[in-house]
Structure 1
C-alpha cells in the first residue's frame, strides 16, 4: 500500500509527470529502492482505469511528449481514506510511519492522536523486549548482539519517544489556541 499512498500524495500537491513523481518519492522517503518505473507506471495506469487519476499529453519541443497525471476527486477521497486508515501493526513498519509523518499536515487531529498512540505503544513494547533480552543474556560472552547495539537501540527509542511527546504537545497547543 505504501507506494500507492506515496504516488497519490505527490498528486495531491498538483499535476506531475511520472519522472517527477518518482524523483519526489525517492527524495521524501530517502530510499532509491522504494519505487521504480516497473512499480510506478502500472499503478498510474490502474489509478487511471479506476478514475482516481487523469492523464494528459504534454508536448515538449525537441523531446518526446510526456504524460502528466492529475488526481481526481475520487483519487483525493481514496488518498484521505488510505492515509487515515492504518493498524497498529502497520505503524510498527518504519516506512508506513514515515509516510504518515511526511504528510502529517494532511492528517486530521483524530488520526494524528491515533498515530501517536500506536507508535508509542510500539516503542514501549520494543523497550520492554529490549530490557527482557538484556536481562536474559546477562554477562554471557555469547551475547545475541553487542552492547553497542543495545545502547544504540535504546537511545533511538528514547529519542523517538521524546519526538512524539513534543509533537503531541504542539498538537494540543494548536487545538487550545484555535478555540
Structure 2
C-alpha cells in the first residue's frame, strides 16, 4: 500500500513519467522504490481510475508514459492515509507514512491511526515482557536477554512518543 500512497502523493504536484516518479519518491526506509513495485502499483491505480496514463512521444527516443492523478486518486490518497489497517500496524513505514499526512487529516482519523498503532505496540510489549519473565532455560542466553530488553526499551519509548503525538493530534 505504501507505493500507492507515495505515487499518488507525488502526482498531486503534477503529471510525471514513471522514471521521474520513481526518483521523486522519498521513503523513510533503506529500500528504494523499484520497478517491480512501482509499475504494478501504477497499473492498479490506473485500473481503479486513480491515475490516467498518456503516451508522450520523444524525438529519437522511445515514447514514455506520463501519469496524472485524478479526482478519484485524490480521494483515494486521503482514504489510504486516513486509516491504518491492523495487518499493517506493525510496519513502521506504513505507520510513519500516515503520520506524515496528519496535517491533512481530520482529528478523528489521526486519533484512529494512533490508536491502532498503540494497540499493536502494547501487544508486542506484552509478548516480550512475557518472554523476559519466563525462567531461564539451560544454557542461559545472555545476548538474547539483552536483545529482548532493548526491544522493551524501544517499545516503551514508542508508547511515550505515541502519547505525545496523541496530544498534538487532538488539536485541529
TM-score normalised by L of structure 2: 0.81
1:19 corresponds in structure 2 to: 19
2:29 corresponds in structure 1 to: 30
Cα root mean square deviation, aligned: 2.7
1:73-84 matches, within 5 Å, as 73-84=71-82
C-alpha distance in 1, partners of 2:60/2:164?
51
Q: State the number of aligned residues.
A: 172
Runs (5+) with no aligned partner, structure 1: none
Runs (5+) with no aligned partner, structure 2: none
String of CA shifts for 1:18-43, please: whole Å, max 9, x gaps: 12322333x3232325x321332233
1:37-52 matches, within 5 Å, as 37-52=35-50
For the 8 Å contact 1:52–1:74, the answer to whether it is kept is yes
**1:57 CA displacement:** 4.4
C-alpha distance in 1, partners of 2:169/2:5?
24
Of Structure 1 and Structure 2, the greater helix share is in: 1
1:89 corresponds in structure 2 to: 87
1:128 corresponds in structure 2 to: 126
- Structure 1 residues 150 and 42: alpha-carbon distance in aligned structure 2, compared to 1, 3 A threshold: closer
**1:163 CA displacement:** 1.7
**1:9 CA displacement:** 2.4
2:166 corresponds in structure 1 to: 168
1:8 corresponds in structure 2 to: 8
SS of 1:117's equivalent in the other structure is: helix
String of CA shifts for 1:38-59, please: whole Å, max 9, x gaps: 3322332342343221234456
- Structure 1 residues 102 and 140: alpha-carbon distance in aligned structure 2, compared to 1, 3 A threshold: farther
